[in-house]
Structure 1
Amino acid sequence: MEEIDYIRGGLGDKLLTQITSIQEKTTILIQGKSFVIYPNVFNPIVYSATLYFTRSLLELVQHMKPQHMLELGTGAGYNAILGALNGATYVTCTDVSQIAVNNAQENIDNHQLGNRVTVIRSDVFDSLSSECKYKFDLIFWNFPFVHINKPASELTDLERCVYDPEHEGIDKCLRDIKQFLVPDRGRAFFAFSTTLASMEQFSDVAAKNNWKLQLVNEYETTVGDDIGFEEAGAGAQLANRVKLFICKASSGINGFGSNR
């Protein structure tokens, strides 16, 4: 599998360098709520385009009002918490990084949502119990959508929030996700950038697992109108033009669903 220009040009490493340069806890405001971000946890201050995905996710949550929501790759947990504050009754969130899990737990505690939001250390679905089978009305993942020619075993947990060698993570997710969605009405949504990654590669992985992708939302962001200047603070920008959207694979329902 070929690396895209985003990798060859060093932008992925630049993003990671910016994240690791933050050596103290930071506090950011997202959707009017305060969140702590630990060092070595993905921080929207350095790539605030992720907050567009947050806005789209919250629109979905407000529309669907899911009984049970699952967020994969939660990082600091702000999407999961905002989901609970905007219509999801119960939220489970996971991350492969123990530091991120600890970070998310602090934010859950700070927002007094321990009875409604649960964070688990897990690589995709690996650590979810059998009780989670066919449970979730909504699954969301702002997944690491960039292939890199390096084994996953050689990546740090932080690198794995940007890179997914051979798209193994999303492949595993799409292979197993149906058994975690509520039959007939469960819906799964994925955040993706067509500028920073290969839509062709993502589509191939989806097709391999018999899923159809359908556009839900898309945005154009440029330096100067970056959402980060409004919510995440100065420096929240990426010095190139990006196109961001959420695409979804679902078990076949009207409205936001697409047929498998």
Structure 2
Amino acid sequence: MALVERTRRHGAGEFQLLGRTWELLPEVWLPTLSYSTEFYTTHLPYPQDGSFLEVGCGAGVTAVHAALSGCATVTATDVTSQAVDNTARNARRHDASGVTTVVSDVFTGLDDHDQFDCVFWNLPYVAISTDYRYPDGLTRAVFDAGMAGCRAYVAGAARVLAPGGRLFLGLGDIGDRDAMEGAAAEHGWQVQLVAASRGEPDAHVEHRLFELVRA
């Protein structure tokens, strides 16, 4: 909960990341508290002239970077309206065309026909008991009660992937990798490690990018 409280203390304002200045709204995760956003944003293979879906967009760093890196369309979803608004603001700020924002719990807010060439979610790292009740939206950036978010992601991903599309997720070494891989296997996915790294300000955590492919 310490990182959540540090985000709250920062409040609304601006932050610097990846050579750009970003706006941060209240109750939205501050990406500079962890190396994770920088790591995943710079290691994802963005489909040139293709479509990209980010689940859990937060302040919008990865979604905006995807649009500026050659994706024709980017859909950014989050469970909180504050994060969706924050991403839309940062897309306008950086003239990132083709970015659409949607309030969605994993895939629930998408249309049935929506499909994407690349799908990614930086999963909440901390698995917590199934009966945990989120006090607010911000804590959902950190905790995954009963790993329900992870399970919904691997269960619904096949529907939102375009033919030949690629599926990625991020999970640090403080997360439950065995449970993640078990959930993926239940839905026909094999998990492959693509990249891993440590960096400031949380160098004690190894951030890991995984690709899920059909078993």
Per the TM superposition, whether the score is higher than 0.5 is yes
Following TM superposition, by how much is the alpha carbon of 1:152 offset from its aligned partner in structure 2, in angstroms?
Answer: 5.6
* Deviation string, structure 1 residues 30-74 (Cα, Å, up to 9, x no partner): 2x23211222211122223331111112xx11xx32511100000
Q: Counterpart of 1:107?
A: 90
Structure 1 residue 168 corresponds to structure 2 residue 129: no
* Cα RMSD, aligned residues only: 1.7
State the alpha-carbon separation in 1 of the partners of residues 32 and 134 from structure 2. Answer: 26
Structure 1 residue 154 corresponds to structure 2 residue 141: no
Q: Which runs of 5 or more structure 2 residues have no equivalent in the other structure?
A: none
Structure 1 residue 116 corresponds to structure 2 residue 79: no
Structure 1 residue 35 corresponds to structure 2 residue 22: yes
Letter in 1 for 2:122: N
* Deviation string, structure 1 residues 52-104 (Cα, Å, up to 9, x no partner): 111112xx11xx32511100000011111110111211100100011111111
Q: Counterpart of 2:38?
A: 51
CA contact (8 A) 1:66 1:138 kept: no
- Moved beyond 2 Å, runs of 4+: 149-155
Following TM superposition, by how much is the alpha carbon of 1:21 offset from its aligned partner in structure 2, in angstroms?
Answer: 1.2
Give the number of aligned pairs: 215
Identity among equivalent pairs (%) = 28
Q: Which runs of 5 or more structure 1 residues have no equivalent in the other structure?
A: 1-12, 227-236, 251-258
* 3-state SS in 2 of match to 1:15: helix
Q: Counterpart of 1:75?
A: 58
TM-score under structure 2 length normalisation: 0.93
Tell which has more relative contact order, 1 or 2 (C-alpha 8 A, sep 6+): 1
State the alpha-carbon separation in 2 of the partners of residues 142 and 82 from structure 1. Answer: 15
1:1-260 aligned within 5 A: 13-30=1-18, 32-57=19-44, 60-61=45-46, 64-65=47-48, 67-113=50-96, 115-132=97-114, 135-149=115-129, 151=131, 153-183=133-163, 185-194=164-173, 196-221=174-199, 226=200, 237-238=201-202, 241-250=204-213, 259-260=214-215
CA contact (8 A) 1:152 1:160 kept: no
State the alpha-carbon separation in 2 of the partners of residues 91 and 123 from structure 1. Answer: 17
Letter in 1 for 2:204: R
State the alpha-carbon separation in 2 of the partners of residues 220 and 154 from structure 1. Answer: 28
State the alpha-carbon separation in 1 of the partners of residues 78 and 118 from structure 2. Answer: 17
For the pair shown, the structure with the greater C-alpha radius of gyration is 1
TM-score under structure 1 length normalisation: 0.78
* Structure with the larger strand share: 2
State the alpha-carbon separation in 1 of the partners of residues 168 and 67 from structure 2. Answer: 17
Residues 45 and 84 of structure 1: is their aligned pair in 2 closer, same or farther, counting only changes over 3 Å? same
State the alpha-carbon separation in 1 of the partners of residues 69 and 205 from structure 2. Answer: 27
Following TM superposition, by how much is the alpha carbon of 1:168 offset from its aligned partner in structure 2, in angstroms?
Answer: 0.4
State the alpha-carbon separation in 2 of the partners of residues 87 and 104 from structure 1. Answer: 18
* 3-state SS in 1 of match to 2:39: helix
CA contact (8 A) 1:28 1:36 kept: no
CA contact (8 A) 2:35 2:198 kept: no
